[in-house]
Amino acid sequence: MRASARHAIRLLPCAFVALGMAASSGPARAFDTGHHVDLTRIAMQELGFNATAIGVAQMENWLVDFYSSADLTGQIKPFVERMHFDKLLTEAEVTNYWGRLTVNTRIAVRASVLAKDRLRLLTVIGMSFHAVQDFYTHSNWVETHPRADNAPFRTETWFNSNSAGLGIRTGNYPNNDPIAPATDHGDYFQGMNHDSYVRPRWQDAYVFAYAASKEWLNACKRWAAEVDPDFWTLARNITLTPAQQTDLSVDLTAAYRISEWITDLGLGGADGHWKGNGSGSAADFVPFFATWTTAADSIFVQQFRVKQWYLDLSGNLTGATPPATPVPAVPKIITNDRRAVIISTVSFTDLSTGVFDSKFDPPFGTPDFYAQISLGGETFLEAMQVDKGDFLPYWTTIKFVPTTTQGIDIRYELWDEDGIGFSDDQADINPAAGVRGLNFRFTIASHQLSGDLSGLHDTLGSAVASAGAEPDTLRARIRLWVTERKLQ
């Protein structure tokens, strides 16, 4: 059932601001928010950062997108727009941009450590991650580093491979490339981008960005150690006051909800930006956006808007000329100690008829399904779909595990989102009485499932279906398959 922010723009009329952000956001121009969130969490977890530090970096990463769309004052947008790795049409421009980003980030990391400012360091990491991750989704890197079907994922990055002569470039933005429309950045339906799992070759772009994020974070650690070898650990284990922790939670919720519900209010553009399109909801977006944007700035928004640490990274960040100083090294990291476990959701179907069963959206409404999937204790939220009770959702969930992992426990839940002021309803997708979600295990060597789902279901053709069978419940059917791929 659908229900019938903190920063510089808060003095503008709320409804106008909401409309302005939605209309100006247009096509996606970054890895979708949810993918940035997941990539940042995964890379930082593997390098030992606590949940608080990860949350700060995730928030600052998202603010790059937010102020690229919502800064109607025009004071921030011109700078943060540079951090999406767009409109670099030649290999030389890409090389120059990478050089400037690397030089700028090393300077910013060292300055943060010199100032003994842990929040500043985490802000620099989160913001710089945005540009690093965007390169692999906005460029032709995937196309110039192709992978055969069912082959291990390739993990070469800009810094640890020789890409000279491959014609590396990024998509034009706005979408007016003088060469050809196919080389525009594009949107969810066309163009060069691999921003969401609704786009071709998204999986490969995502894995490249995962390897690059770990590589980049390791380089930031080296640059921090040049000033103070002990400060990195302090930032990695940062603690906040209870009030600050609450603010961070509120801000991260805003990053999710604004990205999920963003809509152009019927003007023909944005329709969700969490992980693909289809989740836009004006009834939820407008009041939520207005509430968050008219509240006082948290310290995390202040890091971005007031302290303007984005200027440290975006200075001279173009592909026009190379940096004036040597580009610091970004050493290669090991990636062949990981494999990717992949859950592909084929379809979901609402089975609640409203005659003998209760109905998700009575009396005649259609549910707004999303998936909450836990792999080995790590939870992923897949894109809600408004008013779609029978759909092919593109949901693809990837968990990176050590190659020594023998199996992974999976929890799959399907939910109907009810919007602001309502509690979401969990769909019954388990035929067992009194159980709604699915709990099963994927064994790496055999690809066998055991538990609530069993057997070999590792291709689209062998996808397994599960549905709730109890009367008088909110029933649905889900179809999915699970596989794995090694990383090179």
In one-letter notation, the amino acid at residue 20 is G
pLDDT of residue 365: 83
In one-letter notation, the amino acid at residue 486 is K
pLDDT of residue 18: 43
Sort 291 into a burial class: Cβ within 10 Å, 0-12 / 13-18 / 19+.
Answer: middle
pLDDT of residue 2: 52
Tokens representing 392?
């092919």
CA-closest candidate to residue 168, choices 266, 76, 88:
88
398 Cβ contact list (under 8 Å, min separation 6): 203, 206, 207, 340, 341, 342
Arithmetic mean of pLDDT, 292-316: 95
pLDDT of residue 397: 98
Supply the pTM of this predicted model. Answer: 0.94
Residue written as token pair 């580093």: 145
CA distance 101 to 97: 6
pLDDT at residue 13 above 60?
Answer: no
Peptide bond into 328 cis (omega under 30): no
CA distance 349 to 453: 18
pLDDT at residue 111 above 70?
Answer: yes
Q: Residue 313 in contact with residue 108, Cβ under 8 Å?
A: yes
What's the DSSP call for residue 461?
A: G
pLDDT of residue 10: 30
Distance of CA 283 to the CA centre of its chain: 24
The separation between the first and the last C-alpha atoms of the chain, rounded to the nearest angstrom, is 44
Q: Residue 310 in contact with residue 444, Cβ under 8 Å?
A: no
Which sign, positive or negative, has the C-alpha torsion 253, 200, 396, 332? negative
CB-CB neighbours of 178 under 10 Å: 7
pLDDT at residue 376 above 80?
Answer: yes
Q: Across all residues in the chain, what is the average pLDDT?
A: 91
Q: Residue 94 in contact with residue 168, Cβ under 8 Å?
A: yes
For residue range 59-92, what is the model confidence (pLDDT) as tens digits? 999 999 999 988 777 889 999 999 999 999 999 9
CA-closest candidate to residue 384, choices 364, 360, 367, 365:
367
Tokens representing 449?
């499932």
Arithmetic mean of pLDDT, 341-359: 88
For residue range 16-39, what is the model confidence (pLDDT) as tens digits? 344 444 444 443 467 899 999 999
CA-closest candidate to residue 217, choices 88, 54, 326:
54
Quickly list DSSP for 421-447. TS--EE-B--SSTT--SEEEEEETTT-
pLDDT of residue 19: 42
CB-CB neighbours of 289 under 10 Å: 24
Arithmetic mean of pLDDT, 295-308: 95
Tokens representing 216?
């980049």
What's the DSSP call for residue 404?
A: T
Quickly list DSSP for 405-424. --EEEEEEEEEE---TTS--
pLDDT of residue 471: 75
Arithmetic mean of pLDDT, 149-157: 95
| Model confidence band, residue 470 (pLDDT cutoffs 50, 70, 90) | confident
pLDDT of residue 266: 54
pLDDT at residue 14 above 60?
Answer: no
| Coarse DSSP helix, strand, coil percentages of the chain, rounded to the nearest 5 percent | 40, 20, 45
Tokens representing 123?
């802000």
Peptide bond into 174 cis (omega under 30): yes
Arithmetic mean of pLDDT, 115-137: 98
For residue range 222-256, what is the model confidence (pLDDT) as tens digits? 999 999 999 999 999 999 999 999 999 999 999 99
Q: Residue 127 in contact with residue 311, Cβ under 8 Å?
A: no
| C-alpha dist (Å) from residue 2 to 218, 273, 418, 477, 488 | 43, 18, 5, 21, 44
CA distance 117 to 124: 11
CA distance 219 to 43: 13
pLDDT of residue 358: 77
Residue written as token pair 């989740």: 279
CA neighbours closer than 13 Å in the CB half-sphere of residue 316:
13
